Amino acid sequence: MPIRLSGADYRRAHEACHNAASLWNFFLASIQEYWKENKTDPTEKEMRHFLYEQRPDLRDGLHAHTVQLILSDLMDAISTYRSNRDSGDNNARAPHREKNYRPLEFSAGFGWRVTPDRQHIALSFGKGHKRITLPLPEIADPKTGEILPPERWGSMQLCWNHNARKWSLHVSVPTPKPPQGNPNIIAAIDEGIINPMTVAIETENSYDVLVINGRHARAIKHYRNTRIATLQEKLSRCVKGSKRWHKLNAKRKRIEAMTDSALHNANHQTTRKVADFIQAHDAGRIVAGDVRDIEKNTRKDEAKRIKNTKNQRRRLSQWSRGKQGTLLEHKTGSTVGHINEAWSSKTCPACQTRNHPNGRGYHCHNCGFTCNRDAVGAINILMRAQHGAYTPIDMDKPIRVKYLRATPIFQPKTVPSME
Ligand SMILES: [Zn+2]
């Protein structure tokens, strides 16, 4: 939730975020030193000792748990890096970048607590420092809409959005585990550029398909790209660091912050609708066509790169694939498996002939089968997940396609002009 801080608190919070970054940088330097000498990772306890012995001043103005959570974040980042390396990702790098800014985390009951009047929450900045108090927010379960009392809230993060130039409070709340569904019922997902998600599920007497229309997200991306391009062009014509440059740059950041949150919302709404559809069909296994390599190959393969138009490449690199998968996993409680989706949008589900669909419709020149193009992709992925290979569908079962728009059509908010 967005929050407003008074002048003094605003400055104090900024200072604390800088201190948190210095602390992170200290831990990072200590661990790098340790690696050189010992060829192994230090324990968290050893790391705390380095801090107490060498830079006790860095803890000043931060709650002990805030300090501990910064250390835990760094240790987590290192163990993620190690497990990525172990699973064969040679591009994984250990944390190495120094930070200028870190959000502050406050643990429940210690870092933050409800004030005795039950009207405010107080964020602690450690012994001898004034707390920051904020009006008690109202928090509802994101799934059920039920109001959650503060006793059930977990830790909080105080974050500064640099682009929007606003403070916000991120509060973690427990959510009930979503129902898992029947593992024998498969939901097959085809992710795409025009329609961000299409899902196909076989029922006893039909193939049910849901197509989520991505016009909203496309409008945001188009708006963002054209506005940023114009500003970039203007920026290139002024002296870097000049008054006009700063004004234009701030404007660019405002547009980025606004479109970021609009895209985030579009991803949430898309996956919400898909998750509801999956749960209504009691599907317990989710399989998505694997498109994760498309972008990489496009960059590498020169012939393909030239073939893809400039716009196509831009759209590919702004595809929200990975994010959508993670959101869907959160909402359904199932993991999303991946299978190869080569030819899934071209193969005819009825007779297995390969066609080259034009536009949004699919028409088979061999058997006359017609259907929505994205539905064909999702149905083929479903068939491959069920049978191990593309297999003709049961022609006695009708294909029922439902179309939903992710969000209402995007109306660009006008950003005040400075000309
Ligand atoms: Zn056919």
The answer to whether the beta carbons of residues 140 and 149 sit under 8 Å apart is no
What is the CA(346)–ligand 1 centre distance, in A?
Answer: 10
The answer to whether the beta carbons of residues 239 and 245 sit under 8 Å apart is yes
Structural domain total, the chain: 2
Sheet containing 182-191: order of strands: 336-340, 283-290, 182-191, 197-202, 207-213, 399-405
343: DSSP letter: T
Q: Are residues 146 and 43 in the same domain?
A: yes
pLDDT of residue 224: 92
What is the CA(285)–ligand 1 centre distance, in A?
Answer: 28
Alpha helices in 87-169 (DSSP H): none
pLDDT of residue 267: 87
Q: Are residues 263 and 168 in the same domain?
A: no
Sequence-separated (6 or more) residues with CB below 8 Å from residue 228: 252, 255, 256
Q: Are residues 210 and 335 in the same domain?
A: yes
pLDDT of residue 83: 82
Q: Is residue 413, in this structure, part of any structural domain at all? A: no
pLDDT of residue 323: 79
Strands 207-213, 120-123: pairing is unpaired
CA–CA distance, 328 with 199 (Å, rounded to integer): 12
What is the CA(144)–ligand 1 centre distance, in A?
Answer: 44
Domain boundary among 120, 148, 176: 176
Q: Are residues 252 and 356 in the same domain?
A: yes
pLDDT of residue 303: 52
pLDDT of residue 321: 56
Q: Are residues 255 and 384 in the same domain?
A: yes
Q: Is residue 324, in this structure, part of any structural domain at all? A: yes
Q: Is residue 64, in this structure, part of any structural domain at all? A: yes
Q: Is residue 419, in this structure, part of any structural domain at all? A: no
Q: Are residues 88 and 153 in the same domain?
A: yes
What is the CA(284)–ligand 1 centre distance, in A?
Answer: 30
Q: Is residue 410, in this structure, part of any structural domain at all? A: no
Domain range holding 212?
Answer: 182-405
Domain boundary among 176, 200, 230: 176
Q: What is the pLDDT along the chain (419 residues), one digit of tens a residue?
A: 889 998 899 999 999 999 999 999 999 999 999 999 998 889 888 999 999 999 989 889 999 999 999 998 899 888 888 888 887 778 888 888 899 999 999 988 889 999 998 899 999 998 889 999 999 988 887 767 788 888 888 889 999 888 788 899 998 887 667 777 899 999 999 988 788 899 999 999 999 999 998 887 888 889 999 999 999 999 999 898 899 999 999 999 889 888 888 888 888 889 999 999 999 999 999 999 875 554 455 455 555 555 555 555 455 444 455 778 888 888 888 888 888 888 888 999 999 999 988 877 899 999 999 998 889 999 999 999 999 889 999 999 999 999 998 876 545 555 444 43
The answer to whether the beta carbons of residues 65 and 112 sit under 8 Å apart is no
pLDDT of residue 260: 84
Q: Is residue 100, in this structure, part of any structural domain at all? A: yes
What is the CA(290)–ligand 1 centre distance, in A?
Answer: 24
What is the CA(364)–ligand 1 centre distance, in A?
Answer: 5
Q: Are residues 164 and 186 in the same domain?
A: no
Q: Are residues 245 and 280 in the same domain?
A: yes
CA–CA distance, 79 with 74 (Å, rounded to integer): 9
Q: Are residues 211 and 359 in the same domain?
A: yes
Q: Are residues 147 and 15 in the same domain?
A: yes
Q: Are residues 384 and 238 in the same domain?
A: yes
What is the CA(283)–ligand 1 centre distance, in A?
Answer: 28
Q: Is residue 383, in this structure, part of any structural domain at all? A: yes
Q: Is 118 exposed, middle or buried (0-12, 13-18, 19+ CB in 10 A)?
A: exposed
What is the CA(81)–ligand 1 centre distance, in A?
Answer: 47
pLDDT of residue 282: 93
The answer to whether the beta carbons of residues 149 and 174 sit under 8 Å apart is no
Domain boundary among 176, 205, 237: 176
